[in-house]
Amino acid sequence: MSVKLVSQVSFSLALLLTIQLAIAKGPISKPSCTDHCGNIDIPYPFGMGEKDCYFNEWFEIECNESRAFISKIKMELLNISVEGWANVKSPIISSYCSDRESDLPFNLTGSPFFISDYNVFIAVGCNTRALMIDQSLQRFGCESTCLGHKKNVDWRQMLPNFIEEGSSGNYWIVNNYCNGTDCCHVTIPSSLQVFDPKFQAVSSQSTDGCKLAFLAGTYPPISWRKKDPNVQFPMVLDWMLYSNRTESYNWMINSGFWSGNYLGSESVSCFSIGKIFVTLYVIIFT
pLDDT at 270: 38
Q: Are residues 133 and 62 in the same domain?
A: no
CA dihedral over 36, 70, 60, 269, signed as positive or negative: positive
Q: What are phi and psi of 140, to 5 degrees?
A: -155, 170
Q: Which residues of 2-32 are buried (b: 16+ CB within 10 A; e: fewer)?
A: eeeeeeeeeeeeeeeeebeebeeeebbbbee
Q: pLDDT per residue over 51-97, tens digit each? A: 999 999 999 999 998 899 999 999 999 889 888 999 999 999 999 99
Q: Are residues 58 and 98 in the same domain?
A: no
Neighbours of 64 (CB within 10 A): 10
Q: Are residues 68 and 90 in the same domain?
A: no
Q: Print pLDDT tens along the chain (286 aa).
A: 433 333 333 334 343 333 343 344 455 888 889 999 998 999 999 999 999 999 999 999 999 988 999 999 999 998 898 889 999 999 999 999 988 889 999 999 999 999 999 899 999 999 889 998 766 666 789 999 888 878 888 888 888 888 877 766 667 777 667 889 999 999 888 888 999 999 988 876 666 889 999 998 866 666 666 666 567 788 999 999 865 556 555 655 555 555 544 444 344 333 333 333 222 222 233 2
Total number of domains in the chain: 2
Quick check: 61 and 53 in contact, CB under 8 A? no
Q: Are residues 30 and 120 in the same domain?
A: no
Q: Are residues 148 and 177 in the same domain?
A: yes
Q: Are residues 138 and 37 in the same domain?
A: no
Q: Which domain holds residue 192?
A: 84-239
Q: Are residues 93 and 65 in the same domain?
A: no
Helix axes of 2-25 and 275-285: crossing angle, nearest 10 degrees: 150
Q: Distance between CA atoms of 33 and 50, rounded to whole angstroms?
A: 8
pTM metric for this prediction:
0.74
Q: Are residues 113 and 53 in the same domain?
A: no
Strand order in the sheet with 113-115: 61-64, 67-70, 75-81, 85-90, 233-239, 113-115
Q: Distance between CA atoms of 177 and 189, rounded to whole angstroms?
A: 20
Strand partners, 185: 122
Q: pLDDT per residue over 8-26, tens digit each? A: 333 343 433 333 433 444 5
CA dihedral over 59, 62, 66, 68, signed as positive or negative: negative
Q: Are residues 223 and 98 in the same domain?
A: yes
Q: Are residues 174 and 68 in the same domain?
A: no
The answer to whether residue 248 is domain-embedded is: no
pLDDT at 258: 53
Q: Are residues 60 and 137 in the same domain?
A: no
